[in-house]
Amino acid sequence: MSGRAQLMWDEAVTGYDFGPEHPMDPVRLALTRSLVGALGLDREVEVVAARAAGESTLRLVHRQDYIDAVKAASLDPGAADPAYGLGTVDDPAFAGMHEASSLIAGQSVGAAEAVWRGQALHAVNFAGGLHHAMPGAASGFCVYNDAALAIARLLELGAERVAYVDVDVHHGDGVQAAFWEDPRVLTVSLHEHPRTLFPQTGWPEETGAECAEGSAVNIALPAGTGDAGWVRAFHAVVPEVLADFRPQVLVTQHGADTHFEDPLAHLAVSLDAQRAVQVACHELAHEYAEGRWVALGGGGYAVVDVVPRSWAHLVGIAAGRPVDPETVIPEGWRQEVYARTRQLGPMRMTDGRWPVGWASWEEGYDPADRLDQAVVAARRAVFPLRGLLA
């Protein structure tokens, strides 16, 4: 198996563009790729442009009538069918939508193939992680569910156990739905509580279909959760279920919208805590999946201050050259930020909160603490189904 990491990148993924008023600005992808280059990380990885996902691949998750609807809307955005979630406020149709969406999906599928076949130990597609798309509908800024497609491709190639860990602020509902009845896939989502955030799913009681009980794990965190609680909750649940499941591949989704500056959600997590969880995912891949790790992007709408730094850290960790949080960001990149956005870019690769302190679950918990209550709810819902002590 190659020890070299792959970075999946084709500049055409920036064509995934819902328009100037939409929060998912593709400049976040361009600036991330540029920061990866400015930090010299692209010299530490193999940069690969995979082919767009074809119809047979898309059908691993999506219905043919939905694919046809996306193609039709792509050719004539004005004719988009809202019955398929297209032409809505969240998912406005745009020319070339099918091509851009299938290209992003192709990068995640290509990442999965490279890792499974031993061409790379780790592979990153920060343009991916579009985890809300359903088999028959667009949802939550997501047209094709590249994360689910990558997992489905792994299963097609012969994988018997794939774990998916999603730390986006929103519940990974589309991936959970795709594998709700499949015990070969463990989906774990750490997200803001559905009472206060889209898509209003991801309750602890959602644990998988009867034929796959315990295959879905949901840790629903109270609004306002900060670094110590977020990292504590991750470590209180994720390592134990991965140790039990023994995945052959770990697929992770790293939406940056948990950040305290993100305009669309209500957690209070720093860049430094995001980096800490990225490091943890890398370590868990080596501990439980022989190092096989596919890492994806996701949400994130602080497109200058947060997203590029968070995902540049992810690339560095996957490349085996993690970026020191105190690293000063190259001035050339900050000039590019200003030229593209008329905003001032951040100065360093930290929010000033490194290292992140958190208390281990093994040290005990406070039954009156809202964060600990969320962890207890997740453990009690799913651990007994897996034969684990809650």
- Tokens 């189904």, residue? 385
- Nearby residues of 137 by Cβ (< 8 Å), 6 or more positions away: 66, 84, 85
Query: 186 phi and psi, to 5 degrees?
Result: -100, 120
Contacts of 186 (CB under 8 A, 6+ apart): 161, 162, 163, 164, 215, 216, 217, 241, 242, 245, 247
Query: Known catalytic residue: 132?
Result: yes
Coil, strand or helix: which one is 163?
strand
Helix residue ranges per DSSP H, the chain:
27-38, 55-58, 64-75, 97-116, 146-157, 173-178, 227-245, 271-288, 307-319, 331-341, 370-382
As a whole number of angstroms, the distance between CA 286 and CA 360 comes to 21
Residue pair 50/327 in contact (Cβ under 8 Å)? The answer is: no
Please state, in angstroms and rounded to a whole number, the distance separating the CA atoms of residues 296 and 288: 19
Catalytic residue among 62, 132, 170, 259: 132
Half-sphere exposure of 211 (CA within 13 A, CB side): 6
Tokens of 316: 């560095």
Cα R_g (the chain), whole angstroms: 19
Q: How many CA atoms lie within 13 A of 297 on its CB side?
A: 31
Of 219, 236, 226, residue with least CA distance to 361: 236
Distances (CA, A) of 126 to 247, 295, 371: 22, 7, 29
Phi/psi at 101 (5° precision)? -65, -40
CA 5 to CA 2: how far, in whole Å?
Answer: 8
Active site positions, annotated: 132
